[in-house]
Structure 1
Amino acid sequence: ARRRSLTLGNQHADGMSELRGWLSPELRATLEAVLAKLAAPGMCNPLDENPCVDGSPTEQAIEGDTRSAAQRNHDGLLAGLRALLASGNLGQHNGLPASIIVTTTLADLETAAGKGLTGGGTLLPMSDVIRLSRHARHYLAIFDHGKALALYHTKRLASPAQRIVLYAKDRGCTAPGCTVPGYYSE
């Protein structure tokens, strides 16, 4: 159990990141149970127009699933983590509901080009940003020459809406020389 670890590697130029680690027997058993369901052939296939994420996939979905087992594991884990975030059962992190926070420009959003930046420092292709937004609680932060509009300062502690504006404006730690992404900043 002392060797247990999970490390998310740096993001490469193609957007992909390596995941490395040692799983405890309990985490392995948990992951096996989740993947047995969500990574089964025909489940959670992003290539399907309407992917099966619960219940049982159709015979057509199973037969048409050309993904490798490793790709199915990736897609099943993604579906499980999406469901966990959507459930609201994770509570709060730094005063906000645990969620994916993305900033982008209006121009990139309107042209469906460019990238968004998450509170953790991940660059997301605009197609992923748009897909994520279909299932998200929306907040809109509007800036005028870098200054947040309608940001209230009457409370000592920032409200969730103010924290989102700060993520969008600063994108992380504002101390000189600090490069900590927004999710890990106070």
Structure 2
Amino acid sequence: MRNPDDPEPCTSGTPSQAQIDNDHRSLAQRQHDALVVVGRIALMSGLGDLNGLPVSIIIRTTLQDLETRAGVGVTGGGTIIPIKDVIRLGAHAHHSLAVFDRATGSALDLFRTKRIASPAQRLMLIARDGGCTKPCCTVGAYGTQVHHVTADWSHGGNTNIDDLGLACGPDNRMVGPNGWTTSMNDRHEVEWTPPAGLDTGQSRINYYHRPEALLRPPEEPEPECPESRDLESAEPDSADPASVTPEKLDPEPITPEQIDPQPSDHTSEPGGPAPPDTQAA
């Protein structure tokens, strides 16, 4: 008898008479609430796993959006959900907070002890990559595998969070000799380099699942243009409007003679002599 208006509802056994008297729900409402509880218990039961994670909803959002209750969240399949629905779904869920620093309670570095990534590592990669990291691939996180980015497991690679990335099955199998190669840059982004037959070897990054990364400010200010620095040193007062004079704007002004130097002899042109009959009159 889970009465939502009762501060101490009866969750098992027989409810007391006071709890029965305080329950003002209709029969249809009580049946609806009971069906919701039954469905919730079934969903929280063991339903297997998918790609190393229990069957559950995984949502990426920011702490700022949660605090302001504005914005959206993105599921592992790429579905956009309003933040109010994210909070509602999270009210009855076990939360896994992804904090991007070294202070974490889960083992995110397995080195050579395991080849398969742990559930904690997969959650961290979903929060970081969002989906397949190969350029132009739109496969969401639910359809990806954990790929050893810096070095393959068979070549001595480690199963550490900074050496892993998400990739769908077909793209994961494209990495190998005479194929695509992957690397990790300083911002922990997976870079894909095509084989020599497709391109000149320029690495690429997939921002399809993380468009917000394109809006972040540059880590270092852009260098100043040498030409603009020379112009500023040559004319230090050019930025002052009061220092601008007509001579600086136009050192060689155009005179009226340059506009109309000589009257034309052609009678059809402006400035030419009048017709003969007009002069006689």
TM tier, smaller: 0.5 to 0.7
Between the aligned partners of 1:76 and 1:122, the Cα distance in structure 2 is: 29
Kept after mapping to 2: 8 A contact 1:173/1:179? yes
Q: What is aligned with 2:69?
A: 112
Kept after mapping to 2: 8 A contact 1:109/1:126? yes
Query: Superposition pairs for residues 19-34 of structure 1, below 5 Å?
Result: none
Length, aligned pairs only: 127
Q: What is aligned with 1:135?
A: 92
Distance 1:79 1:91, change over 3 A: same
Moved beyond 3 Å, runs of 4+: 58-65, 75-84, 148-151
> How far did 1:167 drift?
0.8
Kept after mapping to 2: 8 A contact 1:85/1:98? no
Between the aligned partners of 2:79 and 2:35, the Cα distance in structure 1 is: 18
> How far did 1:62 drift?
4.6
Q: What is aligned with 1:27?
A: none
Q: What is aligned with 2:51?
A: 94
**Which has a greater percent of strand?**
1
Q: What one-letter code is carried by the residue in structure 1 that aligns with 2:26?
A: A
> Secondary structure, in 3 states, of the residue corresponding to 1:143?
coil
Q: What is aligned with 1:158?
A: 117
Between the aligned partners of 2:142 and 2:35, the Cα distance in structure 1 is: 21
1:179 to 2:138 alignment: yes
Q: What is aligned with 1:61?
A: 26
> How far did 1:152 drift?
2.1
Q: What one-letter code is carried by the residue in structure 2 that aligns with 1:103?
A: R
> How far did 1:127 drift?
1.1
Structure 1: stretches of 5+ with no match in the other structure:
1-47, 66-71
1:84 to 2:49 alignment: no
Structure 2: stretches of 5+ with no match in the other structure:
6-10, 12-22, 146-281
> How far did 1:63 drift?
6.3
Listed one character per residue, the Cα deviations across residues 163-183 of structure 1 (whole Å, up to 9, x for unaligned) are 001111111111111101111
Between the aligned partners of 1:94 and 1:59, the Cα distance in structure 2 is: 46
> Secondary structure, in 3 states, of the residue corresponding to 1:165?
helix
Identity across the alignment (%): 51
- Which is higher, the Rg of structure 1 or of structure 2? 2
Distance 1:80 1:172, change over 3 A: farther
Between the aligned partners of 2:115 and 2:84, the Cα distance in structure 1 is: 37
> How far did 1:82 drift?
4.4
Between the aligned partners of 1:121 and 1:158, the Cα distance in structure 2 is: 22
CA RMSD of aligned residues (A): 3.7
Q: What one-letter code is carried by the residue in structure 2 that aligns with 1:121?
A: G
